[in-house]
Structure 1
Amino acid sequence: MQFKDYYDTLGVEPTAGEAEIKTAYRRLARKYHPDVSKEKGAEERFKAINEAYEVLRDKEKRAAYDQLKAQGYRPGEEFRPPPDFGAGGFGGNGFRFEQDFGGGGFSDFFESLFGGRGPGRGRPGPPGDTRAKLAIPLELAYAGGKQRIEVDGRKLEVNIPAGIQPGQVIRLAGQGQRGADLKLEIDYRPHGEFEVDGRNVLYTLPLAPWQAALGATVSVPTLGGAVELRVPADSDTGRKLRLRGRGLPGKPAAGDQIVEIEVRAPKAATEAQKALYRQMSEAFDFDPRKA
């Protein structure tokens, strides 16, 4: 098995902060998402990006990984985890995903360090209970469905109710260690396009300057499928629009999807395009630093 440089995968330095890591992840996840990318090897690249982010966004996993990286391992170098690596609580606990909802699990390198992605590291619970975390895709939390996991060699199917929230617990009677109940605490896996705030789903919508200035109707992805959104004229970066009921299901009502506008200026690659920018600079008496 080969050592993986997760910082290199996300294109950030080992000193990068949480915000920088999140920004890099979201940019790359959008670029290589299998549903939109036409690049060769996009699916494998997307899996690698998700794996790197899963480690670097988690303080404990990142600290453990940094300890290994500091020993001088290089990307692609043959690697075997130190025999005492799992002793600090980062290794396996007998729980792992049998199937990754939406396609693709994590690499052998990841599993050798952290014991598989799924329910994650167990933790003490009430007497007689076995507790673990189960990270599920956001799409599964939205629609509900079944998640297959493997527990100590036994394959189980977990029913996930639509709208389940992080921190809620699913109990599997008699499926824990030595016949105890297994309690799975739900968490959401990171998503390339969406973030979550309670039951609201947050999405950043890139717009061209002319779309923001003149207004436009654009297609916006949601967890329930793409919808058309009317962007009012004279919109600017930071403006938020609301798609009611397009968030996570729940009572008394479903959440909303909050769409935040981000205006992006295209690069002027030709002389004609540069000329248009010069015309704009002459036509507008505009200083963004004073606006």
Structure 2
Amino acid sequence: MCSAGASAGSAEEWTTPPSWNSPSKRPTGAGSAPCKSDLRSAGRGNTSSTSPLAPSNGQRLRIPGAGGAGADGQDGDLLVTLRVKDSKRYRLDGANIETDLPIAPWEAALGADVNMPTPGGSVTVHVPPGSSTGRRLRLRGQGMPRRGQPGDLYARVKVVVPRTLTKKEKELFEKLRDVSSFDARRGS
């Protein structure tokens, strides 16, 4: 049996190739089921199916009557294995979603309330004072919807330093360097 991958949110159409309309040309035996590329050919029509609200990586969907014909001449079921692809912004971990939250050095040091995009819309996230890159902030119930309770969204703090500084900013960072006793390599 051949499993086909599909991304969450993609709308792929599966059809039966025209050569399969003749019973003598239909594949038979183990391992001869059509793969994704075979199913894109023009044929006896489109097959559509609804996917779950929040598909899981590796989840299998059965589409009754959309597979090749069996020994009895009846069309079998098409089995599709879903592969959920991470986006540039979000990574899926079960029912939880992970994303990066870029913040400025002064927001990390002093704390801040920052706006952050989520799959459900923009939210305000409280960044506690003294946050370093890698700290995970949890937003309960903002992850993938599941039966019962939805997953969580985890925002991983990423301190971003400006590439160029104004003259005033440079002076302030130099002053901070001169008055601070903090050593980043020792963590104190």
Normalized against structure 1, the TM-score is what? 0.50
**Alpha-carbon deviations, 1:214-233, whole Å to 9, x = none?**
11111222222221111112
**Residue in 2 aligned with 1:17?**
none
SS of residue in 2 equivalent to 1:273:
helix
Alignment partners' CA distance in 2, 1:220 and 1:158 = 34
Alignment partners' CA distance in 1, 2:58 and 2:164 = 48
Higher relative contact order (CA 8 A, sep 6+): 2
Alignment partners' CA distance in 2, 1:269 and 1:233 = 23
- 2:64 is equivalent to residue 173 of structure 1: yes
Tell whether the 8 Å contact from 2:96 to 2:151 is kept in structure 1 after alignment.
yes
**Residue in 1 aligned with 2:144?**
248
Gaps in structure 2 of 5+ consecutive residues: 16-40, 70-74
Structure 1: which 4+ aligned runs deviate by more than 4 Å? none
Tell whether the 8 Å contact from 2:61 to 2:81 is kept in structure 1 after alignment.
yes
> Alpha-carbon deviation of 1:165?
1.0
**Residue in 1 aligned with 2:4?**
133
Aligned-partner residue type, residue 136 of structure 1? S
Gaps in structure 1 of 5+ consecutive residues: 1-123, 125-130, 141-145
> Alpha-carbon deviation of 1:245?
0.6
Tell whether the 8 Å contact from 2:98 to 2:154 is kept in structure 1 after alignment.
yes
**Residue in 1 aligned with 2:102?**
206
SS of residue in 2 equivalent to 1:241:
strand
Alignment partners' CA distance in 2, 1:215 and 1:270 = 23
**Residue in 1 aligned with 2:29?**
none
Between Structure 1 and Structure 2, whose CA radius of gyration is higher? 2
Alignment partners' CA distance in 1, 2:173 and 2:127 = 23
> Which residue, 4, 9, 13 being the options, matches 1:149?
13
Tell whether the 8 Å contact from 2:57 to 2:82 is kept in structure 1 after alignment.
yes
> Which residue, 121, 125, 131 being the options, matches 1:229?
125
**Alpha-carbon deviations, 1:179-237, whole Å to 9, x = none?**
32111111102311111111110111111011111111112222222211111122111
> Alpha-carbon deviation of 1:274?
2.2
Alignment partners' CA distance in 2, 1:167 and 1:240 = 27
Alignment partners' CA distance in 1, 2:175 and 2:164 = 13
> Alpha-carbon deviation of 1:280?
1.6
Tell whether the 8 Å contact from 1:268 to 1:274 is kept in structure 2 after alignment.
no
Alignment partners' CA distance in 2, 1:189 and 1:155 = 24
SS of residue in 2 equivalent to 1:159:
coil
Aligned-partner residue type, residue 124 of structure 2? E
Tell whether the 8 Å contact from 1:147 to 1:157 is kept in structure 2 after alignment.
no
Alignment partners' CA distance in 2, 1:288 and 1:174 = 63
Aligned residues: 155
> Which residue, 111, 116, 129 being the options, matches 1:220?
116
Tell whether the 8 Å contact from 1:166 to 1:188 is kept in structure 2 after alignment.
yes
Tell whether the 8 Å contact from 1:148 to 1:155 is kept in structure 2 after alignment.
no
SS of residue in 1 equivalent to 2:49:
strand
> Which residue, 157, 177, 182 being the options, matches 1:281?
177
Normalized against structure 2, the TM-score is what? 0.74
Alignment partners' CA distance in 2, 1:237 and 1:264 = 9
SS of residue in 1 equivalent to 2:3:
strand
Tell whether the 8 Å contact from 1:237 to 1:263 is kept in structure 2 after alignment.
yes
